[in-house]
Amino acid sequence: MSDTPAPVPPALAPGSTVGILGGGQLGRMLSQAASRLGFDVVILDPEENSPAGRVSRGQIVAAYDDPTALNVFGRVCDVVTFEFENVPARSVELLAEAGARVAPGPRALAVAQDRILEKTFLNEAGAPTVEFAMVDDLASLETALQVIPLPALLKTRREGYDGKGQVWIKTLIQAADAWAAIGERPAVLEARALFVRELSIICARGWDGKTAVYPLGWNTHKGGVLKTTVAPAEVEPKTERRARAIARAVLEQLDYVGVLGIELFDLGDGRLLVNEIAPRVHNTGHWTQDGCVCDQFEQHIRAITGWPLGPTAAHAHVEMTNLLGDEIDQWQKLAGKSDMRLHLYGKGEARPGRKMAHVNRVRPL
Amino acid sequence: MSDTPAPVPPALAPGSTVGILGGGQLGRMLSQAASRLGFDVVILDPEENSPAGRVSRGQIVAAYDDPTALNVFGRVCDVVTFEFENVPARSVELLAEAGARVAPGPRALAVAQDRILEKTFLNEAGAPTVEFAMVDDLASLETALQVIPLPALLKTRREGYDGKGQVWIKTLIQAADAWAAIGERPAVLEARALFVRELSIICARGWDGKTAVYPLGWNTHKGGVLKTTVAPAEVEPKTERRARAIARAVLEQLDYVGVLGIELFDLGDGRLLVNEIAPRVHNTGHWTQDGCVCDQFEQHIRAITGWPLGPTAAHAHVEMTNLLGDEIDQWQKLAGKSDMRLHLYGKGEARPGRKMAHVNRVRPL
């Protein structure tokens, strides 16, 4: 590209303020990592006393698109980041106008917020995805079903996570029901990936363009929600190389700053397809807290504050398990296991399916 | 003893509130450990926005002996602990009256606050100290100087840390000056220990009487202030056994709950003398953050909340270095070293000698 590269901003000194939009468990663990490096942290979240707010210097209690709140937030923070990808574009503009460095930037958020943009970007970046087709109405869904082999997965273009906002179409006569089931919203129809397992790779890039990539994790899901990550995953060297090349291409072509998670389908023949990218710290990277010297949370804080990236090698083998809803009631049993590291999120109500905590079972490599 | 043992209180569930008296770096790292286990944390400290307050759910800004503040604090907290040993005995009573579990208990604090009580206790517990004599006035100092060989160290009985409140007496004619130098306060005269190095041992005990002991650290000081700890220290097995026996005896005979640090003089011939005990997490235990699966901060939180104690084996070799005053200006260089783990305390002003941060240099065992 002929654009002049943006100047590399100087590293933020300890005592600077890091802002995090979103006060859930990811914001909480980011806040803890930032504190360890001597930063002050302020959270913006509509829920009072959010999990992240309770471990931070302060919290602004406001909606994510509240212009006044964003102006104050952008002025008190030296850098602002996000714990989720569905940040309104206008909010990012307001933060930048208020004087905060913002990372990751608007392009990464725009790409990750829209499944059509995301898949188009990935394929152009040389990171293949499943076949897909754009769906805007029932007619275009029927056209798409001529191209994408059945069974196919209909997903809303925007929002939806942990298996929400998506429905499988197994026969053509299910098209109208599926269209109704996703709320008749703009969508993408995806071919089924014939994968043998799901992998993910957590990677980071700084303002200076340097990158850092963690070993692969092997993920299992239950009811559409991540259940376990085992890392470092046992993979062929060529699979590892391929995943790292995808990670570097995505980071560079998004001109990305921060930690990014990439979910991959391992087709079992050396090929990898990208399922989706998350422009943030990622549940499948929680194993790094007890498997690496510098975990994904500290890595993200280092990247966005302009600090040198930390090392990514694993020093232990980790099996991460999410505790959902009342599984948190096992805390006492788990606390007694000497190879088990507990990470609780400080959430009050253990609603069914709610992510309450995770545990890392650690053993020597 | 014929006393009925106190009943073991049930483990506090996640979501319970841990109170910490003192908002410095030890309180900050205790708070972070408590948050990781899902506890809410409230700090009591007279300094607004203390290092610990900034990473906690809340802070009560009040003096450590403010009865109203202590009553509120004791009522909102399920358990209260301390980051320093000079807690007024009356404060502990007020907290207990307000309904909080308090750990460590009043006996450990009383012993650690008074160098005569401490040394008497230690010798009775089978943990030898240097020879010492009580000094209440110039006359008793002169009597003591007949018994304790020169050079001898005159220390105030209470308070004083990091080399403050103490003066060496090399010849008898210095007695009056030394007595004036420590402010003519009740004191102890200590014989010089002919030690080859200073060691320390960090240990913990739960409400159920179970104990956990970390490997020894080897400490060096500069200007009376801890500079480095190297751990696990290379020691003879019999030295390790002796230190562990001392740790267990001290914990048990104080009926202690929480983490306790013990400073030792290694006489080089297998003998160990106890220099002092600290009824709290200890600067010489910071290496455990990057050398052990369960560090001293989490261990203390586990002990006082009635959780099972965590493992204490080292999985790495660590050299901990304190950064004092403007040594913190090296942050950027240190952040770029991949074997260096940074722990910054979020303190604003880098006054000379002030503990601003520590770094743990980690290498495989």
Q: For the residues of A58-114, what is the DSSP string, one character each?
A: EEE-S-TT-HHHHHHHHHH-SEEEESSS---HHHHHHHHHTT-EESS-HHHHHHHH-
- Tracing tokens 């309770």 back to the chain, one arrives at A54
List the beta bridge partners of residue A43.
A20, A59
Q: Is residue B171 part of a domain?
A: yes
Specify whether A170 is located in the same domain as A287: no
**Which two three-digit tokens encode residue A152?**
């196919």
| Residue B2, pLDDT above cutoff 50 | no
Sign for the CA dihedral angle at B38, B40, B46, B49 comes to positive
- Structure confidence at residue B3 (pLDDT): 58
- A107: how many CB neighbours lie within 10 A of its CB? 15
- Which of A37, A56, A344 is nearest residue B37 as measured by Cβ atoms? A344
Q: Is residue B227 part of a domain?
A: yes
**H or E, element range at B245:** helix B237-253
A295 at the B interface (CB within 8 A)? no
- Tracing tokens 């002929």 back to the chain, one arrives at A2
Q: How many domains does chain B have?
A: 3
What's the DSSP call for residue B326?
Answer: G
Which residues in A lie closer than 8 A to residue B345 (C-beta atoms)? Answer: 38
**Which two three-digit tokens encode residue A156?**
């809303």
pLDDT band for position B222 (cuts 50, 70, 90): very high
Q: What is the mean pLDDT of chain B?
A: 95
Q: Which domain holds residue B288?
A: 197-364
In chain A, what is the straight-line distance between the N-terminal and C-terminal CA atoms, in Å? 43
| CA dist A4 → A8, A101, A207, B235 (Å) | 12, 19, 14, 59
| Residue B276, pLDDT above cutoff 80 | yes
Which residues in B lie closer than 8 A to residue A49 (C-beta atoms)? Answer: 57
pLDDT band for position B107 (cuts 50, 70, 90): very high
Which parts of chain A sit beneath pLDDT 70? 1-5, 160-163
Q: How confident is the model over B21-34, as a mean pLDDT? A: 98
A154, A136 Cβ separation under 8 angstroms: no
Nearest residue to A81 (alpha-carbon basis) of A226, A204, A201, A165:
A204
A316 at the B interface (CB within 8 A)? yes
Question: Phi/psi zone of residue A139: left (φ > 0), alpha (ψ -120 to 50 degrees), beta?
Answer: alpha
User: Using CB atoms and an 8 Å cut-off, which of residues 189-218 of chain B contact chain A?
Assistant: none
Chain B residue closest in CA terms to A11 = B332
Measure the CA–CA gap between A273 and A281, rounded to whole angstroms: 20
Cα A50 → chain centroid: 19
Decide if A32 and B55 are in contact by the 8 Å CB cutoff: yes
Q: Is A327 helix (H, G, I), strand (E, B) or coil?
A: helix
CATH number of the domain bearing residue A171: 3.30.1490.20
Q: Is A262 helix (H, G, I), strand (E, B) or coil?
A: strand
Task: Please state the φ and ψ torsions of residue B130, each to the nearest 5 degrees.
Answer: -65, 160
- Which of A56, A332, A346 is nearest residue B40 as measured by Cβ atoms? A346
Specify whether A160 is located in the same domain as A237: no
- Structure confidence at residue B163 (pLDDT): 64
Q: What is the pLDDT of residues B164-199, one digit of tens each?
A: 789 999 999 999 999 999 999 999 999 999 999 999
Q: Is residue A358 part of a domain?
A: yes
Which residues in A lie closer than 8 A to residue B38 (C-beta atoms)? Answer: 331, 342, 344-346, 357
Residue B315 annotated as binding?
no
Specify whether B265 is located in the same domain as B284: yes
CATH number of the domain bearing residue A66: 3.40.50.20
- Which of A57, A335, A345 is nearest residue B307 as measured by Cβ atoms? A335
Q: Is residue A120 part of a domain?
A: no
- Structure confidence at residue A1 (pLDDT): 45
Q: Is residue A116 part of a domain?
A: no
Q: What is the pLDDT of residues B121-162, one digit of tens each?
A: 999 999 999 999 999 999 999 999 999 999 999 999 998 666
Measure the CA–CA gap between B219 and B205, rounded to whole angstroms: 23
Q: What is the pLDDT of residues B313-348, one digit of tens each?
A: 999 999 999 999 999 999 999 999 999 999 999 998
- A108: how many CB neighbours lie within 10 A of its CB? 24
Which residues in A lie closer than 8 A to residue B20 (C-beta atoms)? Answer: none
Specify whether A235 is located in the same domain as A357: yes
3-class secondary structure for B143-194?
A: HHHHHCCCCEEEEECECCCCCCCEEEECCHHHHHHHHHHCCCCCEEEEECCC
Final residue before a domain boundary, out of A62, A87, A102: A102
B297 at the A interface (CB within 8 A)? no
Specify whether B222 is located in the same domain as B308: yes
Specify whether A163 is located in the same domain as A224: no
B183 at the A interface (CB within 8 A)? no
Measure the CA–CA gap between A52 and A65, rounded to whole angstroms: 19
**Which two three-digit tokens encode residue B115?**
């160098």
- Which of B38, B331, B357 is nearest residue A344 as measured by Cβ atoms? B38
Decide if B338 and A57 are in contact by the 8 Å CB cutoff: no
B166, B154 Cβ separation under 8 angstroms: yes
- B159: how many CB neighbours lie within 10 A of its CB? 14
- B264: how many CB neighbours lie within 10 A of its CB? 26
Final residue before a domain boundary, out of B145, B176, B191: B191
Q: Is B136 helix (H, G, I), strand (E, B) or coil?
A: coil
Which residues in A lie closer than 8 A to residue B338 (C-beta atoms)? Answer: 293, 310-311
pLDDT band for position B270 (cuts 50, 70, 90): confident
Nearest residue to A214 (alpha-carbon basis) of A228, A229, A224:
A229
Decide if B38 and A346 are in contact by the 8 Å CB cutoff: yes
Specify whether A209 is located in the same domain as A180: no
- Tracing tokens 């240097």 back to the chain, one arrives at B130
**H or E, element range at B46:** none
B328 at the A interface (CB within 8 A)? yes
Peptide bond just before B232 cis, omega within 30 deg:
yes
- Percent of chain B past pLDDT 70, that is, above it, reads 98
- Beta strand B40-44 pairing with B58-60: parallel
Cα A141 → chain centroid: 28
Specify whether B357 is located in the same domain as B298: yes
- Tracing tokens 């919203």 back to the chain, one arrives at A185
Q: How confident is the model over B226-231, as a mean pLDDT? A: 97
| CA dist B98 → B36, B44, B79, B288 (Å) | 26, 15, 11, 34
Final residue before a domain boundary, out of B63, B81, B102: B102
Measure the CA–CA gap between B143 and A60, rounded to whole angstroms: 65
Q: Is residue B208 part of a domain?
A: yes
Nearest residue to B214 (alpha-carbon basis) of B298, B274, B305:
B298
Specify whether A210 is located in the same domain as A172: no
B226, B284 Cβ separation under 8 angstroms: yes
A340 at the B interface (CB within 8 A)? no
Q: For the residues of A100-168, what is the DSSP string, one character each?
A: -EESS-HHHHHHHH-HHHHHHHHHHTT-----EEEESSHHHHHHHHHHSPSSEEEEESS---TTTTEEE
Measure the CA–CA gap between B32 and B281, rounded to whole angstroms: 13
- Which of B39, B343, B362 is nearest residue A293 as measured by Cβ atoms? B362
Q: Is residue B126 part of a domain?
A: no
Specify whether B216 is located in the same domain as B324: yes
| Residue B80, pLDDT above cutoff 90 | yes
Q: Is residue A125 part of a domain?
A: no
- Structure confidence at residue A68 (pLDDT): 97
**DSSP strand E in B238-335: where?**
258-266, 272-278, 316-324
Nearest residue to A326 (alpha-carbon basis) of A351, A343, A301:
A351
Specify whether A201 is located in the same domain as A177: no
Specify whether A250 is located in the same domain as A318: yes
Which residues in B lie closer than 8 A to residue A13 (C-beta atoms)? Answer: 331
